[in-house]
């Protein structure tokens, strides 16, 4: 499973766009990139997943360059409720049929008024 | 859809006793469930992979005789912490992978906070 590197923490203000970049230099051909959000004392929540280029859903966008060695989670116009830890994970969903997820340290995002 | 529940949400037990935590997929069937533990301000650490009808696969350093996992059906996995000690106090989270998965869309439970006194 490819290792990921993210900033430990980030600060932002309400209404701003936040971009969190994740490095995954050893990503394999079959690996997907997935982002999860976790609030204190809750289980992680799936945000977005992608393989290449750009993916957008109702809460975020995921930008993946051609070499796929990094990815950027973009949160438009954050609010105080977006304060959470964000985890980037990469792996092959078909690997052994287990879909095993190994969490890195994550990025602690603090949104200020 | 895709809801995973855990019971209990929090439990306090005395040192030396055993505690069982249930993880249920409420609206889908899960061939595979995973158990994690998380210490304060730390990331999730995968403990074991639980497959319906077979023995769990434990990660390195996790004692299988201490953390008993049973995956009796496609919607239920249980984690039993045997002879609990204060150092087992932690936040335990399960996740479930749908039968017709394919991608990494694992669904996580709300977690169980275990405090051993």
A94: tokens are 């078909």
Q: How far is B17 from chain A (nearest CA, A)?
A: 24
The answer to whether the Cβ–Cβ distance between A34 and B34 falls below 8 Å is no
Residue B101 has pLDDT above 70, yes or no: no
**Quick one: closest CA in A to B39, which residue?**
A41
Residue A2 has pLDDT above 70, yes or no: no
Residue A101 has pLDDT above 80, yes or no: no
The answer to whether the Cβ–Cβ distance between A91 and B104 falls below 8 Å is yes
Task: Map chain A to HEC letters.
Answer: CCCCECCCEEEEECCCCEEEEEECCCCCCCCEEEEEEECCCCCCEEEEEECCEEEECCCCEEEECCCCCEEEEEECCCCHHHCEEEEEEEECCCCCCCCCCCCCCCEEEEEEC
Model pLDDT for residues A20-49, shown as the tens digit of each residue: 999 999 888 888 899 999 999 999 998 999
Angstrom distance (rounded) from CA A44 to CA B103: 16
Model pLDDT for residues B7-65, shown as the tens digit of each residue: 999 999 999 999 999 999 998 888 889 999 999 989 999 999 988 888 899 999 999 99
Inform me whether the C-beta atom of residue B58 falls under 8 Å from chain A C-beta atoms: no
Confidence grade of residue A97 (pLDDT, cut at 50, 70, 90): very low
Residue B5 has pLDDT above 70, yes or no: yes
Q: How far is A87 from chain B (nearest CA, A)?
A: 9
Confidence grade of residue B104 (pLDDT, cut at 50, 70, 90): low
Average pLDDT of chain A? 90
Q: How far is B57 from chain A (nearest CA, A)?
A: 10
Residue B98 has a pLDDT of 78
Out of B6, B103, B111, the one facing A93 most closely (by C-beta) is: B103
């Amino acid at each position: 499973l490819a290792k990921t590197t993210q900033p430990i923490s980030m600060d932002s203000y309400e209404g701003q766009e936040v971009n969190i970049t994740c490095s995954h230099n050893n990503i394999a051909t079959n690996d997907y990139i997935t982002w999860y959000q976790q609030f204190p004392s809750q289980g992680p929540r799936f945000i977005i997943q992608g393989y290449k280029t750009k993916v957008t859903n109702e809460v975020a966008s995921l930008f993946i360059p051609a070499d796929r060695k990094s990815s950027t989670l973009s949160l438009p116009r954050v609010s105080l409720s977006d304060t959470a830890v964000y985890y980037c994970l990469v792996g092959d969903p078909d690997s052994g049929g287990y879909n095993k997820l190994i969490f890195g340290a994550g990025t602690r995002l603090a949104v200020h008024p | 859809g895709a809801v995973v529940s855990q019971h209990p949400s929090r439990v306090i037990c005395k040192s030396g006793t055993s505690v069982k935590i249930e993880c249920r997929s409420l609206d889908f069937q899960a061939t595979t469930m995973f158990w994690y533990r998380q210490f304060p301000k730390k990331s999730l650490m995968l403990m074991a992979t639980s497959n319906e009808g077979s023995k769990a696969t434990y990660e390195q350093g996790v004692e299988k005789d201490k953390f008993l996992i049973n995956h009796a059906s496609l919607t239920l996995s249980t984690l039993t912490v045997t002879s609990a000690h204060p150092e087992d106090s932690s936040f335990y989270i399960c996740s479930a992978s749908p039968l017709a998965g394919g991608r990494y869309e694992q669904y996580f439970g709300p977690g169980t906070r275990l405090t051993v006194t």
